[in-house]
Amino acid sequence: MEDVPLKKKFVTIRFYEELNFFLPLSRQKTSFQAELYTGQTVKDLIESLGIPHTEVDLVLVDGRSVDFSYQPSADDNISVYPVFETFDISGLTLLRAEPLRNPAFVLDVHLGTLARYIRLLGFSAVYRRDWGDADLASYAEENKLILLSRDRGLLKRKNVSHGMFIYHTDPREQIKEVCRRLDLYSSIDPFSRCLKCGGKLYTLEYESDDFKEIRDQIPEGVLSWCREYKQCGTCGRIYWEGSHMKVLHGIIESVFEGAS
């Protein structure tokens, strides 16, 4: 008996806005034909083309919104949109039941400076240099955290529901990117968390009993003029307004400038 070759099926698909970043040049900002395999969901199809599902918030098939479990048919016309906060898309079905609004994060191992900047703005950021992909994904899932990474393989993991691909490589641009895409500006509370561990900072009253206990950890040159101190409730680190603060104030200012 002769094998009858199965007829290949195709859909027409187009990716919008920053999703183009993941595509080869010939597929950017244009509709193209993608081969469809039996049983493939629209989520499988999108990820097979290189886009992590965490980056996608809206899929339209011939103008109708569908969820990730939708099974495309041949000749469907599919439009895929990124997670966006600034467009009015009311009335359409977004892909996540819960929005990405809870601003608490876990960061991939290559994003240590970004973790410090996120804490500087007052948001919780878990960062562990020794975690692998599986640890990061399950920690994010269990604690309902937004996973930040430049590794799309990690963001494609099934159990990552709230994740965000970081496009920039410069941490100063990365922090602006996170604030802009998640519209975090109204929740920013600078200098309220420890940059080292992410714990909450508490004011240490000058010459209080608590202050006297840690007084010997502060350089004499600082004690002579500084009257305002904060301490991390988790790791005990002490903070004061020093010359390095200029840099940090600069970062906070640049984040707000990036809002417009």
Residue numbers at the binding site for Zn ion (CB under 5 A): 194, 196-197, 199, 232, 234-235, 237
Distance CA 154, CA 109 (A): 12
CB of 211 to Zn ion, least distance (A): 17
E runs forming strands in 100-192:
104-107, 124-127, 146-149, 163-165
CB of 234 to Zn ion, least distance (A): 5
What does the block give as tokens for 156?
């494609």
Say if residues 28 and 50 touch (Cβ distance below 8 Å).
no
155 vs 194 by CB, closer to Zn ion: 194
H helix intervals, 10-131 = 42-48, 112-120
60 vs 238 by CB, closer to Zn ion: 238
Distance CA 184, CA 122 (A): 11
Backbone angles phi, psi at 239, to 5 degrees: -120, 140
11 vs 232 by CB, closer to Zn ion: 232
CB of 23 to Zn ion, least distance (A): 41
23 vs 197 by CB, closer to Zn ion: 197
43 vs 119 by CB, closer to Zn ion: 119
CB of 59 to Zn ion, least distance (A): 42
Q: Could you tell me the CA-to-CA distances from 190 to 121, 153, 161, 186, 206 in Å, in that order?
A: 4, 32, 28, 11, 21
In this structure, what DSSP letter does residue 193 have? B
144 vs 196 by CB, closer to Zn ion: 196
CB of 72 to Zn ion, least distance (A): 49
CB of 233 to Zn ion, least distance (A): 8
